[in-house]
Structure 1
Amino acid sequence: MNTTIYDNPDHELLRDQVARFLEREVEPHAAAWEEAGMVPRDVLRRMGQAGLLGLMFEGEHGGGDADALTNLVFAEALSQSTFAGFIITVLVHTDMAGPHLHHAGNAAQKAKYLKKVTAGEMITAVGITEPGAGSDVAGIRTTARKDGNEWVLNGTKMFITNGVHADLYFVAAKTGSARHDMTMFIVEKGTPGFSVGRALHKTGWLSSDTAELVFDNVRIPEESLLGEQGKGFYSVMKNFQTERIALAAMAVGHCTQALKLTLDHVRQRQAFGATLWDKQTIRQRLSMLDAKTRAARQFMYHCAWSVTQGKDIVQEVSMLKALTGELVNEVVQTCQQFHGGMGFIRETAIERLWRDARVLAIGGGATEVMLEEVAKRY
């Protein structure tokens, strides 16, 4: 199932490299990270040293100059882990926060930060969501006003992945009265007035840190403005395409792993004188779920290929996000059901996948919002 019509030999090498990293550095230790509520920084630095934290970024800053297809191969390979807290910690850094600097940063900002980002020496987060504004990005209330040669930020961000332990934050704030008048800013950890309000305790993604961020008269220099003043909304919308393809890769990876775990289980589990695999309804339901997963995977690769062709695919990526967010919940819940009581035990991978899958129909654009994005483009 690994190959697609869009693949080349370098993609297979990347898949193998990521698989080896997961086997050596992640799987033996990630259960402890779930208990700790964070991924150790030295693991992320080793990923950076291996060249895995900036594939799409410029080579002059330590990146790989990779295209969207190669970046998807990485995200999908990473998502073969059953520890989604680790996966999202990395993907926020590489596909959701870091690209704001890659796409909108000027030469001085990239020279200052990007090499450290690709090396895993500075971990990134993106501050957009607020207590009263999630998928409705234009509804944010955090403000930034100009005061001499400084900007002053005030407001609160919510549900920020990597929020507790990041070093570098890309923050959206209103800089005018118009609904879409929004600007992105670079804020470093330790800036006076900027604090973590609280760490949030989640149902899943336990090894990723999630936080409320508070900006109380945070003063930053004018060179911290990221991109064009007043154009931040469009920057966020552009980056959503990369983010949503990465989240689709997580969903497809969860589906693939859940099906593998469940096929192994039902072939061994005895019930009423035969294995579960001998029950026609179980064989057929798993077959259909595998068919849906394979179809979604091909659509995902088509979307990434379309990005490399410079096509406008907001509608298709919105479809993909809605489709995979719902599919992963269908697949994982069915697979958990076929595990019986063991599927409800914390130590099992299928229970972890079940908890972690739920948010994929919510985060990065809830299913209902994605379907509206699809519908208004007909």
Structure 2
Amino acid sequence: MKTFTVEEVAQHNKADDIWIIVDGKVFDVTKFLSEHPGGKKVLVKMAGKDATKKFKQFHNDAIMQRVGLPMQIGVIGAEKKEEAPKPVAAAAAAAAAPLTPGKLVSADEARFGDGFPYGDPNWYQDWNSPYYNESHMRLRKVIREFAEKELMPYCHEWSEAKAIPREVVKKVAQAGFLNAASGAGTNPSVASLLPYPLPAGIKHEEFDIFHEFICVDELARCGSGGLLWALQGGLSIALPPVMNFAPEPIKKKVVPECLAGEKFIALAITEPSAGSDVAGLKTSAEDKGDHFLLNGEKKWITQGAYADYYVVAARTGGAGMGGVSLLLVERAWEGVEARYMDVMGMWGSGTSYITFDDVKVPKTHLIGKLNEGFKYIMHNFNHERLGIVMQANRLARVCIEEAFTYSMKRKTFGVRLIDHPVIRNKLGHMIRQCEATHAWLENIMYQIKTLPEASQPARLGGPVALLKAQSTQTFEFCAREAAQIFGGLAYTRGGQGEKVERLYREVRAYAIPGGSEEIMLDLGIRQATKNFEKRSKI
């Protein structure tokens, strides 16, 4: 790229010829004058000058990536030669060493990420951990580079458009991240159906729940629940019943299409009058010999507005949980209608209202056995809720990272925000809750990795439910406190407070779906009581 001196840039200081400097980069913003959201005068005042301080006062890094860099024409001074990066495997292997207690490496080798206090889990910052190895660190590096380049700069644009481009979903799929984030990576029964390899060259037999966690966690770092749910909202909750219980022809057709990002699948359980009370659903599927006749309504269905397949919970038997079955319904069938719902947050994830009017469902599309659908729903609840926890806690951490970064540069009453005790108090409470939740999550994931699968529902259902409530309340607290730190910027869509404003709207989508906080807290105590009484024979 061409180099310029400060004096050369200073000559381009008129309204019809404006260059500015930001972080040592030179930009020609002449044609951008009429498009600048703050008006022409803002740029004219900085014509020919170093605008770094002003730019960082009002903009975030995503604006530079998306809007600024295309206008860059050069750099100031001699172009700095960058060191050739270490091969990913070598760098990851070096960084993996401190994860094994007793082995030491230099601090530079051990650290990963931007280094903002508590902006990343502590194992990113040279803390020892028993949970991760070289493959986890390799995956972490690959997905962060992908997310920062391909996703993060465009989250606001996609959110405002209330749509994620299909080509973006396919690109994420080709990188192997849909395999990872959907649970398919840890499911040996579908290893042969994956349309693309797992990311970072990880083999299926070594892929574990912690790899899945890293994928979800790093994607969540983009700070957009709408993006997360548009990418893998249906995959993580609707595809597992198909992977685990659907007939082989259905599995072989649906799984590859969805993991390739070519088709979308949604879980249709919630109804206008039946949310957490799954056993009370009213949608019916009447036996007509060679098919079921499906009638009913579903509401608040993630990705339902544009899904190609629906995993539908319908009543095929008597009242209660014993009369529920799961059916795979195709969007193209006559009698299926889905329409968008206008909701508070998660824009772009296709929240919908669906009606089934005399839909003929072939019996070959029955998932598992008749009237055992409730069991299949429960089978995936721990995975669904853990996915919510993974996302919610990273989104809470995003609030911490954004607020901490902003407080280091914003001044009030002559000092930085971080120098005010009240701001440090807010950050302290945000951090302690987020770190506690993260540690609990890692503990439970280790149980999932090591306990016999058959014992997990009874042993982990209650703790996972409590953890979900913990994570969503932590997220809500952090979003609220971050908004207070940002002030008016968090009340404005776009700009420096973009992520915080969006996340504040999206909190409810984590606190209610997958089991509301009230239901989760009650479930956790009921299961603990039941297990105790069973063991002690009270």
Question: Normalised by the shorter chain, which TM-score bucket?
Answer: over 0.9
The match for 2:351 among 207, 210, 218 is 210
Which residue identity lines up with residue 517 of structure 2 in the other structure? T
Tell me: CA distance 1:334–1:291, structure 2 relative to 1, closer, same or farther (3 Å). Answer: same
Query: For the residues of structure 1 that align with 2:155 and 2:297, how far apart are their CA atoms?
Result: 31
Matched-pair contact (CA < 8 Å) for 1:254–1:328: yes
Identify which of structures 1 and 2 has the higher relative contact order when contacts are C-alpha pairs closer than 8 Å and 6+ apart. 1
The match for 2:140 among 5, 15, 18 is 15
Equivalent position of 1:333 in the other structure: 480
Equivalent position of 2:6 in the other structure: none
What is the CA deviation profile of residues 188-236 of structure 1, one whole-angstrom value per residue up to 9, with x for unaligned ones? 111111111x310111111211100110000011100011111111111
Equivalent position of 1:182 in the other structure: 324
Equivalent position of 2:426 in the other structure: 285
Shift of 1:85: 0.4
How many equivalent pairs are there? 377
Q: 3-state DSSP class of the match of 1:216?
A: strand
The 5 Å alignment of 1:73-152 reads 73-152=214-293
Which residue identity lines up with residue 417 of structure 2 in the other structure? L
Q: 3-state DSSP class of the match of 2:488?
A: helix
- Alignment of 1:358 with 2:525, yes or no, is no
Matched-pair contact (CA < 8 Å) for 1:68–1:304: yes
Which residue identity lines up with residue 467 of structure 2 in the other structure? L
Query: For the residues of structure 1 that align with 2:436 and 2:253, how far apart are their CA atoms?
Result: 42
Equivalent position of 2:172 in the other structure: 47
The match for 2:384 among 243, 246, 259 is 243
The 5 Å alignment of 1:292-311 reads 292-308=433-449, 309-310=451-452, 311=456
Query: For the residues of structure 2 that align with 1:125 and 1:36, how far apart are their CA atoms?
Result: 21
Runs of 4+ in 1 over 3 A off after TM superposition: 63-67
- Alignment of 1:194 with 2:336, yes or no, is yes
Shift of 1:243: 0.8
Equivalent position of 1:230 in the other structure: 371
Shift of 1:42: 1.3
Report the more deviating stretch, 261-270 or 27-36.
Answer: 27-36
Query: For the residues of structure 2 that align with 1:35 and 1:299, how far apart are their CA atoms?
Result: 35
Matched-pair contact (CA < 8 Å) for 1:156–1:212: yes
Report the more deviating stretch, 354-363 or 130-139.
Answer: 354-363
Shift of 1:376: 0.8
Q: 3-state DSSP class of the match of 1:376?
A: helix
What is the CA deviation profile of residues 244-280 of structure 1, one whole-angstrom value per residue up to 9, with x for unaligned ones? 1111111111111111111111111111221111111
Q: 3-state DSSP class of the match of 2:435?
A: helix
Shift of 1:335: 0.9
Query: For the residues of structure 2 that align with 1:169 and 1:17, how far apart are their CA atoms?
Result: 32
Query: For the residues of structure 2 that align with 1:120 and 1:213, how far apart are their CA atoms?
Result: 22
Equivalent position of 2:406 in the other structure: 265
Matched-pair contact (CA < 8 Å) for 2:224–2:346: yes
Query: For the residues of structure 2 that align with 1:248 and 1:279, how far apart are their CA atoms?
Result: 31
Shift of 1:7: 1.4
- Larger of the two Rg values belongs to structure: 2
Matched-pair contact (CA < 8 Å) for 1:54–1:94: no
- Unmatched 5+ stretches in structure 2: 1-119, 124-128, 185-189, 199-203, 530-538
Shift of 1:169: 1.1
Which residue identity lines up with residue 116 of structure 1 in the other structure? E
- Unmatched 5+ stretches in structure 1: none
Matched-pair contact (CA < 8 Å) for 2:155–2:222: no
Shift of 1:313: 0.2
Query: For the residues of structure 2 that align with 1:112 and 1:73, how far apart are their CA atoms?
Result: 28
The 5 Å alignment of 1:308-319 reads 308=449, 309-310=451-452, 311=456, 312-319=459-466
Identity fraction in percent: 29
* TM-score where L is the length of structure 2: 0.68
Report the more deviating stretch, 166-175 or 306-315.
Answer: 306-315
Matched-pair contact (CA < 8 Å) for 1:91–1:246: no
Which residue identity lines up with residue 179 of structure 2 in the other structure? G
Query: For the residues of structure 1 that align with 2:141 and 2:293, how far apart are their CA atoms?
Result: 46
Report the more deviating stretch, 347-356 or 87-96.
Answer: 87-96
Q: State the Cα RMSD in Å.
A: 1.5
Equivalent position of 2:211 in the other structure: 70
Matched-pair contact (CA < 8 Å) for 1:54–1:117: no
Matched-pair contact (CA < 8 Å) for 2:393–2:472: no
Equivalent position of 1:372 in the other structure: 522
Q: 3-state DSSP class of the match of 1:46?
A: helix
Report the more deviating stretch, 65-74 or 156-165.
Answer: 65-74
Which residue identity lines up with residue 42 of structure 1 in the other structure? E
Query: For the residues of structure 1 that align with 2:211 and 2:368, how far apart are their CA atoms?
Result: 26
